[in-house]
């Protein structure tokens, strides 16, 4: 999609910077308490969750290790293709460590289930999920976040690291996208 194509969409603010900070700090407080004295590895799903991870780490009061995975399931547009591919895998040994997956949005649950199953093969002590947003109405497999910022309706969201065709990640707040029926609006 080119720059002109992006003009056919309107952004509507869903969560302010202050609301996002509150969600993240609340989760960080719980995580810090729950994992105090334990060896925790945060595994961030790229690219959408990297801003969330950065803020989360700043609020944590415990030492953590950080690693990244990149799982491709969205090709373009607003629909998933259903197939999940690993394009960057974990590098830190996870055996006998607690793992906390950092995700921007739980949607169908398929990506997280795939990743949890894959990480379980590495023999961690535990695997839990921390997600900023959850679209429960889109769930296709049973999946719940252990740490959750907030639920969100079935909207296509952008900002705060979350993109639409690699655009809008830079926005400091979270918006939802709607098409503009008439470009002159």
Show me where the domains of the chain are located.
16-152
The set of catalytic residues is 107
Quote the CA–CA distance of 95 and 102 in Å, as a whole number.
18
Q: Token pair of 184, please?
A: 């002159």
pLDDT at 2: 41
Quote the CA–CA distance of 26 and 34 in Å, as a whole number.
12
Low-confidence ranges of the chain (pLDDT < 50): 1-5, 75-77, 184-185
Phi/psi for 38 (5° steps) reads: -115, 165
Stated pTM of the model? 0.88
What is the topology classification, in CATH, of domain 16-152? Rossmann fold (3.40.50)
Which residues neighbour 59 within 8 Å (Cβ) at sequence distance 6 or greater? 24, 25, 27, 28, 29, 32
Q: Token pair of 76, please?
A: 């373009």
On the CB side of 9, CA atoms within 13 Å amount to 21
């Amino acid at each position: 999609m080119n720059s002109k194509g992006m003009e056919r969409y309107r952004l509507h603010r869903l969560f302010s910077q202050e609301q996002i900070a509150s969600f993240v700090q609340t989760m960080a407080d719980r995580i810090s308490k729950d994992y105090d004295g334990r060896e925790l590895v945060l595994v961030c799903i790229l690219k959408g969750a990297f801003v969330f991870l950065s803020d989360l780490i700043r609020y944590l009061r415990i030492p953590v290790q950080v690693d990244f995975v990149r799982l491709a399931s969205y090709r373009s547009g607003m629909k998933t293709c259903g197939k999940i591919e690993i394009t960057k895998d974990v590098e830190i040994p996870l055996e006998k460590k607690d793992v906390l997956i950092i995700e921007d949005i739980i949607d169908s649950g398929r990506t997280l289930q795939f990743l949890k199953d894959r990480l379980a093969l590495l023999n961690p002590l535990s695997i839990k999920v921390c997600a900023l947003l959850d679209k429960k109405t889109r769930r296709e497999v049973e999946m719940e976040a252990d740490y959750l910022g907030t639920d969100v309706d079935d909207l296509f969201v952008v900002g705060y690291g979350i993109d639409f065709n690699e655009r809008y990640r830079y926005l400091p707040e979270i918006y939802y996208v709607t098409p503009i029926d008439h470009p002159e609006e």
